[in-house]
Structure 1
Amino acid sequence: MRHSLLRLGLAASLSALLLAPPLRAAERSSARQAELYGNLETFATILDLVQKHYVDEIAGSEIMLGAVNGMLSALDPHSSYLSPKEFKALQEETSGRFGGVGIEVAVRDGVLTVVAPIAGTPAYHQGIKSGDQLAKINGEPVSELTLNEATSLLRGKPGEKVTLTVSRDSQQLDFTLVRALIPQHSVTAAELAPGFHHLQISTFQNATAADFQKALREAGKKRPLKGLILDLRNNPGGLLDQAVLVADLLLEQGLIVSVKGREQERSQPFAAEPGEGKYSGPLTVLVNEGSASASEIVAGALQDHKRALIIGTRTFGKGSVQTVVPLPGDAGLRLTTARYYTPSGRSIQETGISPDLTVPFEEPEEVESASGQVREKDLRHHLENDQQAKKSKKLQRKQQTPTERLLTEDNQLRAALFILQQLARPAAPQL
């Protein structure tokens, strides 16, 4: 499999027809250039006024940086200037090793919002959820911060504490998290039942496809692989080429995604290619509102080819591709250069991927109790449910394994496993 990274008389009449479009194009180009120079002149005038008359003296570099950030933030939520520190952090993230709390954030309706907590990280374990709106970081309001500034505050040395204040369901909640090294391996695997495996991809990093292929090989060593659950919940995305490679491992042939930009070199289709190590058995895919970008590419390709049953809730809806360009001084530019489309030609920008089977996540009972909602069982001296008490005693006698506990607490995963087992059943003979 070879894929490249995306980095976006009659003669007189005929002569007139050929010459007219270039002339009109040249006129349009000249008009745009004149407008640009006029705007630059206005900018230079404002810059001069600020430097001469603003109440405090401000360095020219600071003004220019503010102008660049303002220009990029006016384009879309994902284009941004990366300072040397931020550019280094991005490189660490895609390589899979950085210090932080483990959340992906984006600006949604002008509010800094959690796209998804990364599985196995401090934010994930402390209960940060997709859709939580960030209000404060270490007591500092984030309303005036850019996306990159907020990301810089979230990251830091492992072992350091950071306090997040989030808005959720009209409540403000405080979480004190201890920064950690975010796991390098983005693929985790578990056998849920004999021959039925759960592979979760937390984000698409440099080695994700290789790790996924390795996990597939390991899954089939003990016993034949009967069915696979690909878990893309709370996967905020990552590298486009890795998403294509993962989809390629699950598709025998056909288009995976089309990337279309203004520039020809930014536009190209990506298709599945012949190769070894592919999985062609029964497949279900779990998604939710935290599944974004690269994870939506995989889910959309598998859904369009009717290769898998998509289960869960509607995805985030990020249908654009960003290119990262190194700048002088170890800085960088993250710029939206293309849109992507699923094999059927649909854009999921804003709309997301609708699952084939909608299964909302049900909070475990202990999490519901911590939500602040009062129920009968929370009242003092309430009567116990005698049937539930007997059930609890049985559970206490039988210690649950991590896999059993996972299935007990995750109704979406239980649904995916049940459906997968039905898909894997041999067809009844026809009489």
Structure 2
Amino acid sequence: MFGTRKGKKIALLAVVLFAMLAGGGFVAQKHCAAQGGNDYESIELFTDVLAIVKKSYVEEVDTKKLIYGAINGMLASLDPHSSFMPPDMYKEMKIDTKGSFGGLGIEITIKDGILTVISPIEDTPAFRAGIKAGDQILKIDDRFTKDMTIMDAVKRMRGAKGTKVILTIVREGFDKPKDFTLVRDIIQVKSVRFSSLDNGYGYIRIAQFQEKTDDDLVKALATLKEENGGSLKGLVLDLRNDPGGLLDQAVKVADHFVEQGLIVYTEGREKDSRMQFNAHKGGTEPAYPMVVLINGGSASASEIVAGALQDHKRAVVMGTQSFGKGSVQTIIPLSDDSGLRLTTARYYTPNGRSIQAKGITPDIIVERAEIQPTEKKDGHIREKDLENHFESGEKVEGEDKKTEKGKVPAAKSDDQLKGDYQVLRALDLLKGWEILKTMNRAN
């Protein structure tokens, strides 16, 4: 039987080689030449199997479907982040980086063989339903996720606006898996949000690093300065639950706060994957105090920014350990409008730290906590609590700006910041910084 298929096998071998060269150019050619017979023997094995399936499978099969499946399997054997994107998925991926797409608003990975949530994207169906970083997705609708690729999982979670999908979640603290019913929506990711926390103190949140993140950051900084008399006393940069995004945008964001020196560098096998990114003196922000907030949902590009500012001692990093995704994926377009997402390098902080599987360790550990406001903090009765007490006669500065107990003391703050314990701790640190500076100047 094998002898009669020799001509077909040679033809199929030529087709497969052409597909490889179309995707990889001279790199694929060079690799084949270096490996010699081993690569050709492996490709011959593949074409043998392909020919047998085409000839003998119980039903007629689509060759492209077989090739796509083989590529998926090949990439899945490498790492959780390398994947193949058919034309429709590749098109959606390009839309994702522009900040608008249909689905649930959830960033996922495969951790220890289990489909795991990196982070829900802020103000999306997943975020509103209570999906959290670290959640394990046992099932999507009625389909178990064991051995499911990331691309297959993404495809199952994407869908038309208004349609429902059920995620079965395993979470620490749950007695048993719990079903979450989510309604798909058009996800409009607002990359940058900002607010004035208090007089002179700004807050900027980056939800995801997209094409316009740097532009939006510049506008946010300008507005905050305008709201606070032309300058800032301090800034909270919130990277919690930021799953990452575009490397170049992470570099540009860090560049605003680092005057000179290395921001991040990458190491890989190919020359093109070994790169260094340095800060530029022009356009650097004044050296006001900064706190960067991170947590287990901070990954990839957000870890680059946090690591750079930490190594340069430009900011205090506060929160909890970050996710630990220290690899770089290169998107390679292929000849049939499909795409290849391939891990090509590891990235390192300026001090040479690899983030991969480790993450960024905060300078100050602050766990997430809920603030429960009380009428009296220590139980003591004070003069002002007595009936018919008289006032001092002096107007207390800012007394007309009443704030709710346990809330961020700022009329301009977003609702989401009110009662956020980690943000309050960051603001306290910035204020303490300013007090110490004032005391030192007085001495």
> Considering the TM-score relative to the shorter chain, is it more than 0.5?
yes
Tell me if the contact between 2:196 and 2:227 (Cα under 8 Å) persists in the aligned partners: no
Could you tell me the TM-score, scaled by structure 1's length? Answer: 0.82
Tell me if the contact between 1:100 and 1:157 (Cα under 8 Å) persists in the aligned partners: yes
Per the alignment, do residues 34 and 108 of structure 1 end up closer, same or farther by CA in structure 2, a change over 3 Å counting?
Answer: same
Query: What pairs with 1:364-403 in structure 2 (closer than 5 Å)?
Result: 403=413
CA apart distance, 1:387: 7.4
Query: What pairs with 1:190-339 in structure 2 (closer than 5 Å)?
Result: 190-223=195-228, 224-276=231-283, 278-339=285-346
1:77 aligned onto 2:80? yes
Per the alignment, do residues 111 and 236 of structure 1 end up closer, same or farther by CA in structure 2, a change over 3 Å counting?
Answer: same
Residue deviations 1:141-183 (CA, integer Å, cap 9, x gap): 2224211111122222333322222111253122222222222
Q: Gaps (5+ residues) in structure 1? A: 1-27, 366-384, 391-396
Number of the residue aligned with 2:185 = 180
CA apart distance, 1:50: 2.6
Number of the residue aligned with 1:63 = 66
Query: What pairs with 1:30-49 in structure 2 (closer than 5 Å)?
Result: 32-49=35-52
Tell me if the contact between 2:137 and 2:168 (Cα under 8 Å) persists in the aligned partners: yes
SS of 1:216's partner is: helix
Number of the residue aligned with 1:378 = none
CA apart distance, 1:274: 2.1
CA apart distance, 1:261: 1.9
Residue deviations 1:100-132 (CA, integer Å, cap 9, x gap): 211100111111110001112121122110001
Number of the residue aligned with 2:348 = 341
Tell me if the contact between 1:106 and 1:113 (Cα under 8 Å) persists in the aligned partners: yes
Using the aligned pairs only, state the percent identity.
47
The letter of the residue matching 1:196 is Y
CA distance in 1, matches of 2:64, 2:126: 35
CA apart distance, 1:402: 8.4
Number of the residue aligned with 2:129 = 126
Tell me if the contact between 1:113 and 1:131 (Cα under 8 Å) persists in the aligned partners: yes
CA distance in 2, matches of 1:178, 1:247: 36
Number of the residue aligned with 2:111 = 108
1:167 aligned onto 2:170? yes
CA distance in 2, matches of 1:31, 1:85: 35
The letter of the residue matching 2:220 is A
CA distance in 2, matches of 1:211, 1:157: 29
SS of 2:177's partner is: strand
Which of 1 and 2 has higher RCO (CA within 8 Å, sep 6+)? Answer: 1
The letter of the residue matching 2:178 is L
CA apart distance, 1:30: 6.3
CA apart distance, 1:406: 4.1
Q: Gaps (5+ residues) in structure 2? A: 1-30, 380-402
Residue deviations 1:348-405 (CA, integer Å, cap 9, x gap): 111111110111112567xxxxxxxxxxxxxxxxxxx9979x9xxxxxx969778486
CA distance in 2, matches of 1:405, 1:185: 16
Tell me if the contact between 1:213 and 1:277 (Cα under 8 Å) persists in the aligned partners: no
What is the aligned-residue RMSD (CA, Å)? 2.6
Per the alignment, do residues 323 and 168 of structure 1 end up closer, same or farther by CA in structure 2, a change over 3 Å counting?
Answer: same
Residue deviations 1:79-113 (CA, integer Å, cap 9, x gap): 11101111111111101111121110011111111
Tell me if the contact between 1:217 and 1:277 (Cα under 8 Å) persists in the aligned partners: no
Runs of 4+ in 1 over 3 A off after TM superposition: 28-31, 52-57, 385-388, 397-409
Tell me if the contact between 1:154 and 1:162 (Cα under 8 Å) persists in the aligned partners: yes
Number of the residue aligned with 2:423 = 413
SS of 1:174's partner is: strand
Query: What pairs with 1:356-371 in structure 2 (closer than 5 Å)?
Result: 356-363=363-370
CA apart distance, 1:409: 3.5
